Amino acid sequence: MKALLVLNAGSSSLKFGVFAADRADAPALLSGQIDAIGVKPRLRASKGDERFDEALPTPENAEHAHEDALTWLLDWLREHLAALELVAAGHRVVHGGTHFSAPVRIDETVLEELEALVPLAPLHQPHNLRGIRALAAQLPELPQVACFDTAFHHTQDTRAATFALPRALTEEGVRRYGFHGLSYEYVAAQLPALLDERADGRVVVAHLGAGASLCAVRGRESVATTMGFTALDGLMMATRPGSLDPGVLLYLMEHKRMDAAAITRLLYHESGLAGVSGISPDMRVLLDSDARAAAEAVELYCYRVARETGSLMAALGGLDAIVFTAGVGEHSAPVRERVCELLTWTGLRLDAARNVTHGPRIEADDSAVAVGVVPTDEESVIARATRELLQS
Ligand SMILES: Nc1ncnc2c1ncn2[C@@H]1O[C@H](COP(=O)(O)OP(=O)(O)O)[C@@H](O)[C@H]1O
Ligand SMILES: CC(=O)OP(=O)(O)O
Ligand SMILES: [Mg+2]
């Protein structure tokens, strides 16, 4: 059978799916993920009724953890795809810059343009591009397609995308791009089934994974988002701080003599849940911990989600629904409960019993705001785009 391979490298995970090449919207033939990359990597996958669960060797050098996971996965896939003929690959590429606002067939020129964006997404872009290069080395004739996290946000108006900087910098492309767009595109397509008549209303989608952002959606299009020029802005994340007074960076440069490399390490690897708790970047570990610093980190995380939700509500002019997705959003009832508690002023009321069942709808009957949980599926969005691009 002819098949498409989809790769989605996130900051803590490497997700994949294998889809029939000619059956639009059919579920994946084989899908799974390696998660906790850099900590305790583990592959979980399913193929029809078959389940796989394998621990990967613990990385000796954290800097090579993503590279090791990719090599391991491609070997594993070769074994499990023997009966299939790969006819194309689709990839999540986090940053499309100013140039790419739709999926694109990859060639050497495209790849060079995407390489130039590596400094704007150091936790993702190198891993995204490594997957493309590795497949090209193994299968030089294989058509490959890049699908961008930034593309979904191209509907935003100028105000939402502009920093109050001198015009020349804005024109050069220093503006808010926003990320997690493949996930938001998937969730937006689920809204009619989830919300009925509120689907086209004022919705905040909370993508809470290792990376985390919010998207204000109206008419199922992106109106505003918390991430910016890079995937550092907005919410507190596993290892990133989210919004930060830029004066802090000046202080670190002037008084702590930190250079760009040291600040990059601080902002991408040492902050967020990991930095505040001093224990772990993993929400599961923090929720299980009795340490006060773990509880403080979780509280700050939820508080930041609630505060940024308020900001997006101003952009939307109100709130009809909030929808949780991604690793934490889909699986953590305590985080959803605390965020919703902090949003009680909006008229939102959670139903505790519904919340622990993880949805799809978890608000109380008297809630003014609908609350949903949608398991995201970036791989299916990439598969569809890859199929469409190669057929056109
Ligand atoms: N049951 C759970 N409770 C709390 N957090 C969870 C749970 N399951 C997964 N997570 C968190 O989800 C995160 C991974 O989310 P995911 O969206 O897969 O990440 P990525 O940003 O790498 O794509 C991890 O940090 C993990 O701690
Ligand atoms: C953009 C981003 O932070 O992605 P992820 O959550 O997959 O790390
Ligand atoms: Mg992700």
Query: How many C-beta atoms surround the C-beta of residue 140 within 10 A?
Result: 7
User: Quick check: 251 pLDDT over 90?
Assistant: yes
Q: Tokens 């690897």 belong to which residue?
A: 269
Q: Which ranges constitute the DSSP H helices of the chain?
A: 65-80, 108-115, 125-138, 158-161, 167-171, 181-195, 246-255, 260-269, 272-277, 283-288, 292-316, 326-331, 333-342, 352-356, 378-391
Q: Residue 70 corresponds to which tokens in the numbers above?
A: 């990719």
Residue 57: per-residue pLDDT: 87
Rg (CA), the chain: 20
Pocket flag, ligand 2, residue 211 (CB < 6 Å): yes
Residues having CB closer than 6 A to ligand 1 are 10-13, 209-211, 238, 282-284, 287, 326-328, 331-332
Indicate which residue of 149, 233, 320, 377 is catalytic. 149
Banded pLDDT at 63 (limits 50, 70, 90): confident
Residue 11: per-residue pLDDT: 86
Q: Measure the CA–CA gap between 111 and 159, rounded to whole angstroms.
A: 30
Q: Point out which residues pair with 323 in neighbouring strands.
A: 205, 372
Q: Which residue has the higher pLDDT, 4 or 62?
A: 4
Which of 77-81, 84-88, 111-115, 324-328 shows the lowest per-residue confidence on average (mean pLDDT)?
77-81
Q: Residue 370 corresponds to which tokens in the numbers above?
A: 């609908």
Residue 279: per-residue pLDDT: 98
- Strands 14-20, 2-9: pairing kind: antiparallel
Banded pLDDT at 392 (limits 50, 70, 90): confident
Residue 142: per-residue pLDDT: 96
What are the residues whose beta carbons fall under 8 Å from the beta carbon of 370, sequence distance 6 or more?
195, 198, 320, 321, 322, 361, 363
Q: Residue 65 corresponds to which tokens in the numbers above?
A: 């953890």
Banded pLDDT at 12 (limits 50, 70, 90): confident
Give the three-class secondary structure for 299: helix
Q: Measure the CA–CA gap between 244 and 156, rounded to whole angstroms.
A: 23
Distance from Cα 57 to the centre of ligand 2, integer Å: 23
Taking each continuous run of H as one helix and of E as one strand, the counts in the chain are: 15, 13
Q: Residue 382 corresponds to which tokens in the numbers above?
A: 């990439």
Whole-prediction pTM: 0.96
Q: Residue 351 corresponds to which tokens in the numbers above?
A: 């139903």
Contact 104, 110 (CB under 8 A): yes
| DSSP label at residue 281 | S
- Return the percentage of the chain with pLDDT > 70, whole number: 100
**Nearest atom in ligand 2 to 179's CA:** 1
Distance from Cα 375 to the centre of ligand 1, integer Å: 12
User: Quick check: 242 pLDDT over 90?
Assistant: yes
Sign of the C-alpha dihedral computed for residues 300, 304, 310 and 316 taken in this order: negative
Q: What is the pLDDT of residues 309-348, one digit of tens each?
A: 999 999 999 999 999 999 999 999 999 999 999 999 999 9
Q: Measure the CA–CA gap between 334 and 301, rounded to whole angstroms.
A: 12
User: Quick check: 49 pLDDT over 80?
Assistant: yes
User: Quick check: 59 pLDDT over 80?
Assistant: no
Contact 10, 16 (CB under 8 A): no
Per the annotation, the verdict on 320 as an active-site residue is no
Which residue lies with its CA nearest to atom 1 of ligand 1? 331
Domains in the chain: boundaries: 2-148, 196-373
- Mean per-residue pLDDT over the chain, rounded: 96
Give the three-class secondary structure for 205: strand
Query: How many C-beta atoms surround the C-beta of residue 150 within 10 A?
Result: 27
Candidate from 91, 180, 205 with most ligand 2 atoms within 8 A of CB, to mutate? 180
Is the CATH code 3.30.360.10 the one for domain 196-373?
no
Pocket flag, ligand 2, residue 180 (CB < 6 Å): yes
Classified by CATH at the fold level, domain 2-148 comes out as Nucleotidyltransferase; domain 5 (3.30.420)
- Return the percentage of the chain with pLDDT > 90, whole number: 90
Residue 108: per-residue pLDDT: 95
Q: Point out which residues pair with 144 in neighbouring strands.
A: 89
Q: Which residues surround ligand 3, an ion (CB under 5 A)?
A: 10, 209
Distance from Cα 314 to the centre of ligand 2, integer Å: 25
Q: Residue 391 corresponds to which tokens in the numbers above?
A: 């057929």
User: Quick check: 296 pLDDT over 80?
Assistant: yes
- The H or E element that residue 246 is part of is helix 246-255
Which of 73-82, 137-146, 183-192 shows the lowest per-residue confidence on average (mean pLDDT)?
73-82
Which residue lies with its CA nearest to atom 3 of ligand 2? 211
User: Quick check: 254 pLDDT over 90?
Assistant: yes
Two domains, one topology: 2-148 and 196-373: yes
Q: Residue 245 corresponds to which tokens in the numbers above?
A: 């007074």
| Residue 92 assigned to a binding site | yes
Mean pLDDT of 16-43: 91
Banded pLDDT at 81 (limits 50, 70, 90): confident
User: Quick check: 202 pLDDT over 90?
Assistant: yes
User: Quick check: 95 pLDDT over 80?
Assistant: yes
